Amino acid sequence: MTFTPESGVTDVVSQFMNELRPGQALFHATWNDAEHLDEKIKEEILSALPPHEREMRSKGVPILGSGLVFPVPEDQIVVPSFTIPTHWARINGIDFGWDHPSAVAFLAHDRDNDCVYIVDAHSQSAATPVVHAQAIKDRGSWIPTAWPHDGMQADKGSGTPLAAQYRRLGVEMLGSHFENPDGGITVEPGIMEMLTRLQSGRLKVFNHLDKWLQEYRQYHRQDGKIVKKHDDLMSATRYALMSLRYARTLSFEPKPEYAIGAQDWQPFETQLAS
């Protein structure tokens, strides 16, 4: 197939962009591949096009409805990964799914500069809580995890709410479902907080998080409303970001040198000498 993606991210476009199958390949043909177009002609054509069509016509980038939710270039938000300082606060966010992926975003907050880093991401479809819980604990079982209100729904098989299942599996789930700081659960306040931080350089993402970046590129509005498709990591990030007030740092408590309550304790070397 060769075509210009005028209809946006259709199921066919999305499959080729995100889930290439054996025997498939995707090539982006841009104006740079059209040798008969010189720079003057390119400028003339671009000037005659509506702004929202220019990248689609010149680079083959699909039109995304009314536009991207976060129109911030990736090169402004992507940073190389680094070792996270132990004094930075940590918080996770989870978005439950089955047919669509369950997704977890792992955030670190540099409180001194009020900059948040998306340091890791997990996304997988058709997997049980055991699988996702282990992925969360592998990144730090002490890190609190924000979860949406559908985590209160009972699982059809066990009759146990999802959040309770994760808690029993050792995940540090927050005590109640996600709420914005004002007590609501609406989406737009979190979207505005994410956009403000992205534009001001206070929300960054590690450069190896391909799945997160794929969702970021496709996260868009249609007729002013956010398209609820391929947005699992975006939702998980929003839950975590709006729950920064619950972020926690890892504390190391010194271990006692001997058992509490022991009588007449002496170092082992002293016992040998006597």
In a domain, 273, yes or no: no
Average pLDDT over residues 142-158: 88
Tell whether 214 and 135 lie within a shared domain. yes
Average pLDDT over every residue of 118-126: 96
Residue 256 lies in a domain: no
Tokens of 75: 């090169």
- 228 is written with which tokens? 């609820």
Return d(Cα 252, Cα 249) in angstroms, integer.
10
Residue 60, pLDDT score: 78
Query: Are 99 and 257 spatial neighbours (Cβ–Cβ below 8 Å)?
Result: no
Looking at the fold, whether 175 and 235 belong to one and the same domain comes out as yes
Residue 157 lies in a domain: yes
The reply to whether 3 falls in a domain is no
88 and 223 co-located in one domain = yes
Cβ–Cβ under 8 Å, residues 239 and 94: yes
Same domain, 26 and 80: no
In angstroms, rounded to a whole number, what is the distance separating the alpha carbons of residues 224 and 8? Answer: 15
Domain residue limits at 49: 11-63
| Rounded-to-10 torsion of CA 209, 212, 213, 216 | -160
Residue 202's nearest CA partner among 114, 118, 119, 120 is 114
pLDDT in tens, 52-109: 677 778 877 776 655 789 988 898 999 999 999 999 999 999 999 998 899 999 999 9
Q: Residues 140, 203: one domain? A: yes
Are residues 215 and 82 part of one domain?
A: yes
134 and 198 part of one domain: yes
Please give the mean pLDDT across all residues of the chain: 87
Residue 223 located in a structural domain: yes
Both tokens of residue 139?
Answer: 């990144």
What number of residues does the chain have? 274
Per-residue pLDDT reduced to its tens digit, 176-226: 999 999 999 999 999 999 999 999 999 999 999 999 998 998 898 888 889
- Residue 11 confidence (pLDDT) above 70: yes
Q: Per the domain annotation, does 5 fall within a domain?
A: no
Element at 54 (helix H, strand E): helix 54-59
CATH number at residue 198: 3.30.420.280
On whether residue 262 sits in a domain, the answer given is no
- 48 and 152 fall within a common domain: no
pLDDT at 268 over 70: no
The total number of structural domains in the chain stands at: 2
Residue 253 has pLDDT above 50, yes or no: yes
